[in-house]
Amino acid sequence: MEIAPGIHSIPSVEKRRPGLYPSNVYLLLGPEPVLIDSGLSKEKIVAPRLRYLEEMKVRPRYILITHGHPDHWGGAVEISKATGAKILAHPAEKKPPEGTQPVKDGFKIELGNWTVQAIHTPGHTPGSICYWIPQLGALFTGDSVLGIGTTVIRPKEGDMGQYVSSLQKLLPLPLKVIYPGHGPVVNSPLPKIEELIRHRQERELQVIECLKRGISGPDELVADIYPEVSGRIKKMAREQVMTQLAKLQRDGKVEKKGRKKEEIRYLLIK
Ligand SMILES: [Zn+2]
């Protein structure tokens, strides 16, 4: 489906839980067609996308990967084998698809009238990349900015401090539109990025407020900050609190006390 002149979003047949959006795969047309991300590798998801390319008689030269999660680069090998496209991803991402070549900050590809430029935006993962087309004011953000909602920053691979810095790095760009990794196109990109930064900063302040009131165990912090969540969402909420605490520790504002799980407490450094 053509969503802007020369830019297609290759639809997914994926069914996700309500409120969750399948990953977006974008096709940029030009003398050297390019895919941004490749979607999941599952046969029933990747096959219709390959058919889409066949029907359009397009053979992408490159598959530019925004980050190393299976719903973004899972299908890359199949698409690469079928079309000959080279897979490019940031070297900080673990276990890249076979044959992946490294892309670093500042990497550029000329696509006729357009230039695609890689901007390293770590935070969601260490090797997250946004792809910027200055001629269009368009930014392809992967999971660094979503069409709807906020990105999960997990304690293991994510870094809240880096995430906020990466978002701040995007603010000076003359942005007109964001093509996110999930969900709808963002037509007012600047307020969106500012809102995401504000949201994380507010959460950080909430954690600090809790610690000041003596709420210092992970479970109590989650219960206080996210009082209404349960189940799967609660697990995600806990991960967000843990990444905020890890950032505060790195910033030298908080220390962790206790070894056994039930004894762990976080204390503000005065
Ligand atoms: Zn992701």
Ligand 1 centroid, distance to 268 Cα (angstroms): 31
Q: Rounded to the nearest whole angstrom, what is the distance from the C-alpha of residue 26 to the centroid of ligand 1?
A: 16
Gap between the Cα atoms of 267 and 18, Å rounded:
38
* Cα 62 to ligand 1 centre (Å): 20
How close is the Cα of 152 to the center of ligand 1, in Å? 8
Pinpoint the alpha helices (H) of 177-230. 189-212, 218-225
Q: Give residue 153 CA to ligand 1 midpoint distance, Å.
A: 9
Q: Ligand 1 centroid vs 158 CA: distance in angstroms?
A: 10
Give every strand in the sheet of 129-133, ordered side by side: 108-111, 114-120, 129-133, 138-142, 177-180
Residue 199 confidence (pLDDT): 96
In order along its 270 residues, the chain shows pLDDT tens digits of 999 999 999 988 777 776 678 999 999 998 899 999 999 998 888 999 999 999 999 999 999 999 999 999 999 999 999 999 999 999 999 999 999 999 999 999 998 889 999 999 999 999 999 999 999 999 999 999 999 999 999 999 999 999 999 999 999 999 999 999 999 999 999 999 999 999 999 999 999 999 999 999 999 999 999 998 888 888 889 999 999 999 999 999 999 999 898 899 999 997
- 223 Cα: distance to centroid of ligand 1 (angstroms): 26
Q: How far is the CA of 91 from the centre of ligand 1 (A)?
A: 16
Which residues pair with residue 221 across a beta bridge? none
143 CA to centre of ligand 1 in angstroms: 5
Nearest Cα neighbor of 151 from 175, 182, 127, 174 is: 182
Query: What confidence score (pLDDT) does residue 18 get?
Result: 67
Distance 202 CA to ligand 1 centre (A): 23
**Residues 168, 216: Cα–Cα separation, whole Å:** 29
Integer Cα distance of 18 and 101 in angstroms:
35
| Distance from the alpha carbon of residue 260 to the mean position of ligand 1, in angstroms | 31
What structural domains and CATH numbers belong to the chain? 2-187 (3.60.15.10), 200-268 (1.10.10.10)
Q: How far is the CA of 124 from the centre of ligand 1 (A)?
A: 7
